[in-house]
Amino acid sequence: MRRWLFADQLGPHFLDSTDQPVLLVESKAVFRRRAFHRQKAHLVLSALRHRAAELGDQALHLRTETYREALTQVREPLDACHPTSRAARRLLSTTDVTVHDPRGFVTTPTQFTAWADGRRRLRLEDFYRHCRVLHDVLMDGDEPAGGRWNLDTDNREPPPAAGRLDVAEPPIPVEDDIDAQVRADLDRWQDEGITFTGRDGPRLFPVTHAEAAARLRHFVTHRLPVFGPYEDAMLAGDPWLAHSMLSAPLNLGLLDPIDAVHRAEAAYRAGRAPLASAEGFIRQIIGWRDYIWHLYWHLGEHYPASNKLAARRALPRWFADLDADAVQARCLSDVLAGVRDRGWVHHIPRLMVLGNYALQRGWQPAQLADWFHRNFVDGYEWVMTANVVGMSQYADAGVITTKPYAAGGAYLNRMSDYCGGCPYDPRHRLGDDACPYTAGYWAFLHRNRQRLHGNIRLTQPLRQLDRLADLDAVVEQERHRGSRAP
């Protein structure tokens, strides 16, 4: 049967045999409906076209306005692996396409449901440990390798004083004729009125299985050993630090995630990477990535609209348009520029600079999730929902995380080198140089005092809030600052 591969199912593990006939569809309507980052559009089209070129006559490659239009041109039975969005699943349910179990994740839906059934709380840490045992990863018999399940406390080093991490740069792919064609097509589409966000730039992420496998091998050999300690650090002059930059190829389906896990474990077993780094990386993949994927389906179709903190403000123009130059606060300006110029920043800028700022100001979680989805090269609905609505905006009031990821300037000062040279002072909550994060933190707690009351992890900060003599002035100052770029 001909296998319909969606644009995020492009690796060899989405086929049953190397000679299986394939359908690949490039739908232009996807780009007409919403403004995606230009580099994301490039990546998706380039990956799809590279796969078509690799498969040659084995693939029927259709370029149509919609998927439905493409299906009218196919005269033979089709099957597909379960898609990654509700919209695509709905589409498939109205066709004759046979749908198989999802691929591209480590744990199957049946295994997740067996774990989740009857649990009061679906904690990441419990799921992660269950997966370690289930897939026999980093286990010495019945015990976790090294005697500990989670070495996160070893992985919170502040950034190195040198301002850069002394680690090999990740290999950047070399663009080819297919990329040139994609760039020319996107230029033409723009002339026709299709809009994109962000700036175009050299392709930074893999688009073939071979490129992705090369990045994984390079990461495990050269970067994994220092991945752990500096996982949470941010540096103005070093956006990558030792992160793997594998989320985009993983989410395009170019790599099988269990392969990444096995390679990281092998490096640890061979003494080439410390346990804290290997465990930290493996937890991101079989823990976080799979957990977020299963929660997308498990939490249901109404979850993305959760808004338990009643956050109703619209995203301001400067943020929506990635206007980093309008922002004075050094951390936010640099991170927003990273999104504009690359469509990628690592986890902590997403959570503690972008998400934290939005959370403090009460921006609508669904709008923010849409913004992340469109502007990040690795953004897809399944991965956005729990990460943005749940983890970063606490809009589910504690399903994913036990307390909101709200933090003042002191955290940013400890974990980055942004505060030196910033016009704002992380210690000040009042006055012209009041750090927007420090002032925003107290204004956030004040606004949500009743909603957060009773959260044990917030008892101390809420007590501190009661003792702030200048709280009224801080709240008034933040009201006055409004949605202006800080």
**Minimum CB distance to ligand FAD, residue 443 (Å):** 21
User: Least distance to ligand FAD from the beta carbon of 43, Å?
Assistant: 13
Contact 311, 395 (CB under 8 A): yes
377 — phi, psi (to 5°)? -65, -25
CA distance 355 to 365: 10
DSSP string computed for 176-188 = -HHHHHHHHHHHH
User: Which of 84, 251 has the CB closer to ligand FAD?
Assistant: 251
Q: 50 vs 47, 179, 241, 277, CA distance in Å? A: 5, 9, 29, 33
| Least distance from ligand FAD to the Cβ atom of residue 296, Å | 10
Q: What distance in Å separates the CA atoms of residue 209 and residue 197, rounded to the nearest whole number?
A: 27
290 or 417: whose CB is closer to ligand FAD?
290
Retrieve residue 201's tokens.
């730039």
The residues, any chain, with a CB within 8 Å of residue 14's CB and separated by 6 or more, are 3, 5, 81, 103, 104, 253
Question: At closest approach, how far in Å is the CB of 350 from ligand FAD?
Answer: 4
Q: How far is CA 64 from the centre of its chain?
A: 29
Largest CA distance in the chain: 74
Least distance (Å) from ligand FAD to the CB of residue 259? 13
Comparison of 379 and 426: residue with beta carbon closer to ligand FAD: 379
Our CB check for ligand FAD shows the closer of 281 and 441 to be: 281
Specify whether the CB–CB gap between 254 and 305 falls below 8 A: no
Q: Angle formed by the axes of helices 275-282 and 257-269, to 10°?
A: 170
Give min distance, CB of 345 to ligand FAD, in A. 7
The three-state secondary structure class of 163 is: coil
Q: How far is the CB of 55 from ligand FAD (least distance, A)?
A: 25
Number of H-type helices and E-type strands within the chain: 24, 7
170 or 486: whose CB is closer to ligand FAD?
170
Which are the contacts of 283, defined by CB distance < 8 A and separation ≥ 6? 128, 150, 152
Least spacing, CB of residue 418 vs ligand FAD, in Å: 18
Tell me if 260 sits within 8 A of 250, measured CB to CB: yes
Please, which residue, 363 or 376, has the CB nearer to ligand FAD?
Answer: 376
CB of residue 387 vs ligand FAD: minimum separation in angstroms?
4
Minimum distance, C-beta of residue 142 to ligand FAD, in the bound complex (Å): 26
Task: CB nearer to ligand FAD: give 233 or 445.
Answer: 233
Measured from the CB atom, is 4 or 247 closer to ligand FAD?
247
Q: How far, in Å, CA of 198 to CA of 217, rounded?
A: 30
Q: Give least dist CB 67 to ligand FAD, A.
A: 22
Q: Indicate the residue among 9 and 251 with the shorter CB distance to ligand FAD.
A: 251
Q: Which residue, 4 or 240, has its beta carbon nearer to ligand FAD? A: 240
Q: What DSSP assignment string belongs to 228-261?
A: TTTTT-B-TT-SSTT----HHHHHTT-S-HHHHH
**C-beta closer to ligand FAD: residue 262 or 347:** 347
* 304 CB-near residues (< 8 Å, 6+ apart): 366, 369, 385, 389
d(CA 333, CA 322): 9
Q: How far is the CB of 437 from ligand FAD (least distance, A)?
A: 16
* 274: Cβ contacts below 8 Å, ≥ 6 apart: 225, 228, 268
Q: Are the beta carbons of 444 and 360 closer than 8 angstroms?
A: yes
Binding interface with ligand FAD (CB under 6 A): 243-247, 250-251, 281, 284-285, 288-289, 292, 346-347, 350-351, 355, 372, 376, 378-379, 383-384, 387-388, 391-392
- In the complex with ligand FAD, which residue's Cβ is closer, 281 or 442? 281
Residue with tokens 């000062």: 413
